[in-house]
Copies of this chain bind each other. A is one copy, B any other.
Amino acid sequence: MSPGRLETLAIHVKPMDNEHPMNSIARYLQDELPRINAFLDAQAAGLDPVVRPAAQHVLGAGGKRLRPLLALVTARALGCTADPYPMACSLELLHSATLLHDDILDAAVMRRGRAAAHVEFGRTETILAGDALLALANKLVADYGIPRMNAVLSEAILRTVTGEIMEIASVRDTAMSQERYYEIITGKTAYLFQGACECGAILSGRGEAAERAAHDYGLNLGIAFQLVDDALDYVSPSEVMGKPSGGDLREGKMTLPLILHLRSLAPQARQELEARIAKDELDAGAARGVADAVAASGCAEATREAARVYAARAAQALDAFPGGQERDLMADILELVLSRNK
């Protein structure tokens, strides 16, 4: 994929009715969140007492439940008659497992505004709680008796792990290409979104064309989601995000806003900044200054523009879905992902 070309397309996604997309999603979530959370609580309660606290910590941290929501909505949009909750919630379990392991990889001390699990529960309990959640998710999905769902989820986890690894290997690599950046975010974020939607489609039993459409919707939505996330890291103050603003820059993560910003600088300024990033010489104040410059140069906004391209592709995939409340909601989710500012 050539992001340079994509940015010039700049297709805009419109909400499908006049209601603000946030309202329709909020109404849906009002019904669904308690069910999703009750299911997750019951699963966590069934774990061994030694892993339970770390699992409950990460599951109870109040994530957006975006992955189970996507799985639910996709399944229903395609007329699913099976109970979708175990499948949908398995996506949150997988996501939570990656968060637990990430906490250790990053040596992160904050996660969603709370202390990271390994700080509170120890490294051992955190690694094993992650393994337990991975296994539990696989088991929930296996119990449907539809092996393709296990294959899709295993593949998604494998690719998620690979994406995380590529990201870590690319830290402070100021020569990193945009292609590599897209590979990383597709891996670490989009494949699990894709897995959520594809499993929803498989469970509905509507056949290959529907599964492919769900795959395309989820994958492109996931890429758009991460692009916006990476843009927000340069413009959103810490209080809103629950994590320090400009954090990616300080951690040496080469995300699109920074890649575009470096490319926009004069050769000497660029070399100087690259050297400071490579040598990890930016303290909090300096990082804040660079982050402001990235935002001021329009590179965060350009990253949001790129997100619109992928959201448009996701919207196109929706054409293959039968019309109805859930398809409208899937369009609204695209809109929300693009417009969110926290």
Question: Chain A interface (Cβ within 8 Å of chain B)?
Answer: 47-48, 50-51, 98, 101, 104-105, 123-125, 127-128, 130-132, 134-136, 138-139, 141-148, 150-151, 153-155, 157-158, 161-162, 164-166, 168-169
Contact = CB atoms under 8 A, between A and B. Distances in A.
A165 B104 contact: no
7 contacts: A125-B165, A130-B131, A135-B154, A135-B155, A136-B158, A139-B151, A142-B151
Given A138-B153, A143-B151, A146-B147, 4 more contacts: A127-B127, A134-B135, A136-B158, A147-B150
Contact of A124 (B105, B123, B125, B128): B105
In the complex, the 6 A-B pairs of residues with the closest C-beta atoms, listed nearest first:
A139-B154, A142-B150, A142-B151, A138-B154, A50-B165, A135-B157
Contacts of A135: 134, 154-155, 157-158, 161
Chain A contact surface mostly:
helix
A128 B101 CA distance: 8
A145 B161 CA distance: 24
B128 A161 contact: yes
A25 to B, nearest CB: 30
A217 to B, nearest CB: 23
A158 B135 CA distance: 5
Contacts of A131: 98, 101, 130, 134, 157, 161
Given A139-B155, A158-B135, A169 B50 contact: yes
A51 B142 contact: no
**Interface centre among A50, A105, A130, by most B CB within 10 Å?**
A50
Contacts of A165: 48, 50-51, 124-125, 128
Contacts of A161: 51, 128, 131-132, 135
A158 B129 CA distance: 10
A155 to B, nearest CB: 6
A98 to B, nearest CB: 8
A277 B23 CA distance: 61
A232 B289 CA distance: 62
Contacts of A105: 123-124, 127-128
Contact of A162 (B48, B123, B124, B127): B48
